[in-house]
Amino acid sequence: METLHAGVVLIGFMGSGKSSVARRLAYRLGCEYIDLDSRIELAAGQSIAEIFTTQGEAAFRRLETEALKKALATPNIISPGGGTVTQPVNREILKAAVQNGVSVIYLRATPQTLAERIRRQPGKRPLIDGDQILDFVATRRRVEELLAQRQEYYEALATAIVDSDNLSLDFVTGKIEKILKPRND
Ligand code: S3P
């Protein structure tokens, strides 16, 4: 990855578009991207929802930390899961990465937007849909509750914040490209 010497991590809540933006950004910059949840699923041979059910959240968080460390070992475009920032160890890893020049971009969206996007993939997020699939209003309430706990971490860790409500994938990706450019001059 010549154009982004140290790498990029896209952080943000479930449904903020991290995976889609990482894929598009990698395409536009002609480099690879790593989706942490996909790596974890591949290694475990289980979906994230199955890992939560059979191994529990604590086990998932350990796998997530290992995957994050591995992904950051080389310059990459990385999309971690939305809860990565809840773990103190991961926050330290991300802070150290920023010290080494990695850009941490917070993809911000309102609870309304996040709930709409989450509802398009029912059953995929165990921390939203536990034993039962929530309706839209209950989903938004759950998003608000979790976001209230996490927002300060997203904001504190970010080297830049990009809003994604009502914006196209290309527009958001373009904004990130512009943010990354000055760092390469
Ligand atoms: C989680 C977010 C999910 C996934 C897991 C836990 C969270 O990833 O890692 O379900 O705690 O916010 P996405 O943000 O890609 O949905």
Write the pLDDT tens digit of every residue in 11-28: 999 999 999 999 999 999
Pocket perturbation via mutation, ligand 1, pick of 11, 48, 139 by most ligand atoms within 8 A of CB: 48
Alpha-carbon 95 to chain mean position: 15
Give the pLDDT confidence of 33-45 residue by residue, as tens digits. 999 999 999 999 9
Q: How far apart, in whole angstroms, are the C-alpha atoms of residue 87 and residue 150? A: 10
What mean pLDDT is predicted for residues 107-132? Answer: 94
83-107 tens-digit pLDDT: 999 999 999 999 999 999 999 999 9
Say if strands 103-108 and 33-35 run parallel, antiparallel, or are unpaired: unpaired
- Please give the Cα distance from 131 to 108 (Å, whole number): 28
Residue 3's pLDDT band, with cuts at 50, 70 and 90, is low
Name the residue of 51, 65, 125 whose CB sits within 8 Å of the most ligand 1 atoms, as the mutation to test its pocket. 125
Query: 64 alpha carbon to ligand 1 midpoint, in Å?
Result: 10
Assess whether pLDDT exceeds 50 at residue 54: yes
Residue nearest to atom 15 of ligand 1 (CA): 81
Task: Please compute, for residue 18, the number of CA atoms within 13 A of its CA located in the half-sphere on the CB side.
Answer: 30
Cβ of 127 below 6 Å from ligand 1:
yes
Residue ID of nearest Cα to ligand 1 atom 4: 81
Q: Is residue 50 predicted with pLDDT exceeding 50?
A: yes
pTM of the model: 0.95
pLDDT in tens, 138-177: 999 999 999 999 999 999 999 999 999 989 999 999 999 9
**Minimum mean pLDDT range among 63-72, 109-118, 122-131:** 122-131
Rounded Cα distance, 5 and 102, in Å: 8
pLDDT band at residue 1 using 50, 70 and 90 as cut-offs: very low
Could you give the 3-state DSSP secondary structure of residue 16? coil
- Integer CA distances (angstroms), 70 to 11, 40, 126, 161, 182, in order: 17, 11, 24, 25, 27
